[in-house]
Structure 1
Amino acid sequence: MSPAPRELLLPDSRGARSSYQLREPGPWRRPQARLTARVAYAAAHVVPAVWADNSPEAPAQIDWDSTLAFRHYLWSYGLGVAEAMDTAQRGMGLDWPATVELIRRSSAEARSAGGAIAAGAGTDQLDLTTLPDDRRRALATVLDAYREQLFVVLDAGAQPILMASRALAAVARGAEDYQHVYETLLAEVPGPVILHWLGVDFDPALSGYWGSEDLDAAAETFLRLLHSRPEQVDGVKVSLLDADREIALRARMPQGVRMYTGDDFNYPDLVVGDERGHSDALLGVFAAIAPAASTALQELERPGGAVRAREILETTRPLGEHLFAAPTYYYKAGVAFLAWLNGQQPGYQLVAGLHAGRSLPHLVQLFRLADQAGLLLDPDLAATRMGQYLAVAGADSLPTR
């Protein structure tokens, strides 16, 4: 007798299979009006074309229908879209020509949906092996690369996010070089931008950003920059996975500059907040937990709703911690796997073959945690697709108990 549609044989931590029954999705709801308690962006991934050459060096080929539909899904829950970020594999398979098209297409869709969009402007069109040896010329090259990308973002109508630059990390010789590049850009942009401090857990090539591997010293440089032109900074996205450091930094920022947490481990505490304040959100994990995140943010708009908001977000924390477990830069594989389980992309793929970055045991545990958080939105479909994946992976050969 075959299992019911939402029941399947799932391997445990020792690789033995036993019956697993999926739960019902959580009691999620879409907002009836714009979210007001927090500003929240979900950093969205891209879906490659099914028949694309997804080898590591191949140009990115995007399934535009699925990619843009996923953004409409996020907007439907009241979340803004953070476009062309590391979630979308900037510097890890998504090349600059595809990024330009992504920013332009997504920005047009945002206008049609009335959704918020911010997009990453960086320097990843540069070949690091061809940067000038002369430091001043190299810094000028980095500045011009930023300007080229800022033009694309602004021309598309999105809010710019000044992403951390591998090229700048490679050529800068101290805090003054970072200060020079960012102050120059802030003086030139026509409106406020979001600054991005991305930690080495997400990108090891950014070691020593802001001029020091000592995070306390780096924070001082970062704060000097913020206080030099606060009117040009809407907020800062800090992705250091260190809640105490984020809270301390938040307390010293200029008034009116938002802290957009990028902490995909500690977001329940940071977004709900306490007597020391709260962070807004620009999170990769929000793309994975959009229905729960939206429902929690709606609770924050109600008197006394903070307790319920925290409860909701806490139910998703184990999933977030698992998605972003070391090596953290492979978290995109888990986000795409969950999107596939939920029917939001036709196959389990990422550009450049990065979906291979997580193991079968990791994805099985992700499935369990997503189900326990109520985030498998169509349990029958999720069970069917998980069964297909297990069969292809050879899990049918594992023992049962």
Structure 2
Amino acid sequence: MSVTSVATIRLPRADGSLTEVALEAPRAWADHPQPYETRVAFAAAHVVADPYAENVPGAPAAIDWDATLAFRAHLFRYGLGVAEAMDTAQRNMGLDWAATQELISRSAAQARAAGARIASGAGTDHLPVGPASLAEVTAGYLEQVAFVEGAGSQVIVMASRHLAAAATTAEDYRSVYDAVLSQVSQPVVLHWLGEAFDPQLAGYWGSADVATATDTFVQLVHDHATKVDGVKVSLLSAAHETDLRRRLPAGVRLYTGDDFNYPELIEGDGEHHSDALLGAFAAIAPAASAALTALDRGDVAGYRTEMGPTLELSRHIFCAPTFYYKTGIAFLAWLSGHQDGFGMVGGLQAARSPVHLARVFELANTARLLPDPELARHRLGLVLAAAGIPT
């Protein structure tokens, strides 16, 4: 009787021990380049750093454009739209405005050629660091909105650090957003990014009380319903999201940004459901595609079977401090062969520990999301060896 050898790798734990894990066989995921019928789905994509550039903290971002755009083609292959130049692409964490403009222009042209959907972030991060008046914040928003629309992309109105610093009341927020929404040419996505993702956005909408802030937000959406395609809420609270989507005007989508609870939120409760605009979808694109395909054919059990194994991976990538989740997204792209190196703009590849990254590998392996497990094992081994951890 022959015995089949199973490849394994020893993975480190936080207590200093090593656990041997078997490599799972890669899965042949089906392509699905068309959009989905029952849900709108965007993946918030990362950027790939130029390995020959000085992508150190505080330096201008230098991008590997071929690899960055190839990753977007990978997402299009699975029927996902791209949410461009968002926090996943390191806005406010290494991606400066000059690189952002080129990214939006290149990605919008690529999406147009592929017949794919794209929406891009417009904020105020090109303004000088430091205090800004409400008028300056409004002008900053309008400048970026005009650029995104001019590139041929839908606009995502991102939360603004400048506005969070300048506003003292809910009316201050309303005055800025009223001015911006009155001038957009096409319906936009409004993005409420919670402080778990960016501590400088604490108290957004004029209150630290989420219920009070939500009332302000909901009234804004109702007042500008014809200018709002949907809202993306990243507060990591399923209960808040299910309540909010019941309060939105008819025709306004709720794009979940909850990387901890997205399977149940996208599935819905029989009356309402969430669409998706998720950084997690950049990590789990093939599995998300299989799940949404099942949902399109009314196979809820199949949807749960496909989406379920991805959730622990997503929760680990987005664990506290959540704003460093970008490191896990880029690391998994490297393990999967979508880029040649694991550098990030701003040097952010150092933001997660080798033990954390080993767990990313383990959970992706369990979900069969590693297209070449041997390549992934080799690359993880390089990271662990550099840290002094034997495999």
TM over 0.5: yes
1:78 maps to: 79
2:204 maps to: 209
SS of structure 1 residue aligned to 2:130: helix
Cα distance, 1:57–1:5 mapped onto 2, change above 3 Å: farther
Deviation at 1:392, TM superposition (A): 1.5
Please give the alpha-carbon distance, in whole angstroms, between the structure 1 residues aligned to 2:28 and 2:251: 34
Please give the alpha-carbon distance, in whole angstroms, between the structure 2 residues aligned to 1:173 and 1:14: 46
Please give the alpha-carbon distance, in whole angstroms, between the structure 1 residues aligned to 2:28 and 2:195: 36
Please give the alpha-carbon distance, in whole angstroms, between the structure 1 residues aligned to 2:274 and 2:304: 14
Please give the alpha-carbon distance, in whole angstroms, between the structure 2 residues aligned to 1:208 and 1:53: 35
SS of structure 2 residue aligned to 1:325: coil
Structure 1 letter corresponding to 2:178:
E
Deviation at 1:19, TM superposition (A): 3.6
1:135 maps to: none
Is structure 2 residue 376 aligned with structure 1 residue 382?
yes
1:127-146 correspondence to structure 2 within 5 Å: 127-131=128-132, 138-146=133-141
Deviation at 1:5, TM superposition (A): 9.6
Is structure 2 residue 248 aligned with structure 1 residue 231?
no
SS of structure 1 residue aligned to 2:182: helix
Is structure 2 residue 322 aligned with structure 1 residue 341?
no
Question: Could you tell me whether the CA contact under 8 Å between 2:81 and 2:118 is conserved in 1?
Answer: yes
1:14 maps to: 15
1:299-314 correspondence to structure 2 within 5 Å: 299-303=294-298, 305-314=299-308
1:125-274 correspondence to structure 2 within 5 Å: 125-131=126-132, 138-274=133-269
Deviation at 1:61, TM superposition (A): 0.2
Task: Encode CA deviations 1:34-75: one digit per residue, 9 max, x unaligned.
Answer: 321200000000011001112111000000000000000000
Q: Identity of counterpart residues, as a percentage?
A: 55
Deviation at 1:27, TM superposition (A): 5.0
Please give the alpha-carbon distance, in whole angstroms, between the structure 1 residues aligned to 2:279 and 2:302: 22
Q: In structure 1, list runs of 5 or more residues that go unmatched.
A: 132-137
1:95 maps to: 96
Larger relative contact order, structure 1 or 2 (CA cutoff 8 Å, min sep 6): 1
Please give the alpha-carbon distance, in whole angstroms, between the structure 1 residues aligned to 2:90 and 2:277: 16
Please give the alpha-carbon distance, in whole angstroms, between the structure 2 residues aligned to 1:215 and 1:28: 40
2:389 maps to: 395
Deviation at 1:389, TM superposition (A): 1.7
SS of structure 1 residue aligned to 2:326: helix
Please give the alpha-carbon distance, in whole angstroms, between the structure 2 residues aligned to 1:223 and 1:18: 49
Deviation at 1:18, TM superposition (A): 4.6
Structure 1 letter corresponding to 2:137:
V
TM-score (norm 1): 0.94
Deviates more, 1:29-38 or 1:106-115: 29-38
Question: Could you tell me whether the CA contact under 8 Å between 1:49 and 1:63 is conserved in 2?
Answer: yes
Cα distance, 1:327–1:32 mapped onto 2, change above 3 Å: closer
Deviates more, 1:6-15 or 1:282-291: 6-15
SS of structure 2 residue aligned to 1:281: strand
Structure 1 letter corresponding to 2:365:
D
Deviation at 1:7, TM superposition (A): 3.0
Please give the alpha-carbon distance, in whole angstroms, between the structure 1 residues aligned to 2:158 and 2:226: 18
Please give the alpha-carbon distance, in whole angstroms, between the structure 1 residues aligned to 2:158 and 2:57: 22
SS of structure 2 residue aligned to 1:235: strand
> What is the RMSD of the two structures over their aligned residues, measured on CA atoms?
1.4
SS of structure 1 residue aligned to 2:155: strand
Please give the alpha-carbon distance, in whole angstroms, between the structure 2 residues aligned to 1:25 and 1:278: 31
Deviation at 1:248, TM superposition (A): 0.4
Structure 1 letter corresponding to 2:46:
H
Task: Encode CA deviations 1:234-281: one digit per residue, 9 max, x unaligned.
Answer: 000000000000110100100000000000000000011122311000
Please give the alpha-carbon distance, in whole angstroms, between the structure 2 residues aligned to 1:207 and 1:13: 31
Deviates more, 1:32-41 or 1:151-160: 32-41
Please give the alpha-carbon distance, in whole angstroms, between the structure 1 residues aligned to 2:33 and 2:70: 20
